[in-house]
Amino acid sequence: MIDVKQLSYKIKDQAILKEISFQVAEGEFFGIIGPNGSGKSTLLRQLSGVDPVRSGEVRLGGKPVGSYSRKELAKWLAVLQQDALPPVGFTVREVVEMGRFPFQNWLGEEKEDADALITAILQKLELTALAERAIERLSGGERQRAALAKVMAQQPGLLLLDEPTTFLDIGYQIQMMDYIANWQKETGLTTVAVLHDLNLAAQYCSRLLVIHDGRAVAVGTPEQILTSELIAQVYGTTPIILKHPVSEVPQVLLQPGQ
């Protein structure tokens, strides 16, 4: 699904990404982790085609990302960001309907009626009772759920997540990630997530890419990546790593004074 080779990116004379290479298989839940300022969000922007690839190669579905038109790409790639829906004066249902834009003609019409799809998504994400409420009247968790509903309406084959749980409390974080993981499993959706929380990354991602100072430090399963040695090298603190008692994935416990 995704093939990245020797990808580099500069802003003026500052190197943001440095010769990064990795692959993501179709249907995989792939995580990107690393310290603040390491280049994670820039990498996601390169994958989405928002920033043009100037050095190296990014191929999506076997084609260079730059060879797709924006509308063509939007028919099968969706992006969900940290604060995806600032107050805009639209209702929840209107925002979800915006996800159908790539499939509409210049009159805002599409060949098939999407009402049943929109209604099903609202029900799935428990938004039916909020459908006619303005976005600015929602809590942060509700607004991010509406943003997820919008990208679900796009029916993408590839979903890019840029720290989608950053501004949510722990209950909404798990709820959001569960919704995404269930969607991914039901549809075979390929998902690439930039995540700040290492424990969430271990719970939901089958493989992780570690970015540090613009370079790919390591790629592997959570068990291979979340070690005290690697975290100390990348984050500058030595944690205790334990297995989760239920899922058995590694979980990071911080040690004060490190």
Tell me the pLDDT tens digit for each residue of 160-214.
999 988 888 998 899 999 999 999 999 999 999 999 999 999 999 999 999 999 9
User: Does residue 118 lie within any of the structural domains?
Assistant: yes
Specify the pTM. Answer: 0.93
Model confidence band, residue 219 (pLDDT cutoffs 50, 70, 90): very high
What are φ and ψ of residue 24, in 5° steps?
A: -125, 125
Are the C-beta atoms of 180 and 159 separated by less than 8 Å?
Answer: yes
What six digits make up the tokens of 49?
């085609």
CA distances in angstroms from 46 to 132, 183, 206, listed in the order given: 35, 24, 22
Q: Could you give the strand order of the β-sheet that contains 55-60, starting from the edge strand earlier in sequence?
A: 14-24, 2-11, 55-60, 63-64
Per-residue model confidence (pLDDT) at position 110? 72
Tell me the pLDDT tens digit for each residue of 74-87.
888 999 987 656 66
The distance of Cα 147 from the centroid of its chain, to the nearest Å, equals 12
Domain around 108: 90-155
Number of structural domains found in the chain: 1
CA distance 32 to 208: 6
The answer on pLDDT for 236 being more than 80 is: yes
What amino acid is encoded at 55 in this protein? S
User: Does residue 131 lie within any of the structural domains?
Assistant: yes
Per-residue model confidence (pLDDT) at position 118? 94
Tell me the pLDDT tens digit for each residue of 112-156.
778 999 999 999 999 999 999 999 898 888 888 999 999 999 999
Tell me the pLDDT tens digit for each residue of 44-73.
999 999 899 999 999 999 999 999 988 888
User: Does residue 133 lie within any of the structural domains?
Assistant: yes
Our CA dihedral for 46, 48, 49, 52, rounded to 10 degrees, sits at -10
User: Does residue 198 lie within any of the structural domains?
Assistant: no
User: Does residue 257 lie within any of the structural domains?
Assistant: no
Per-residue model confidence (pLDDT) at position 17? 96
Query: What's the number of CA atoms in the CB half-sphere (13 Å) around residue 239?
Result: 16
Per-residue model confidence (pLDDT) at position 75? 86
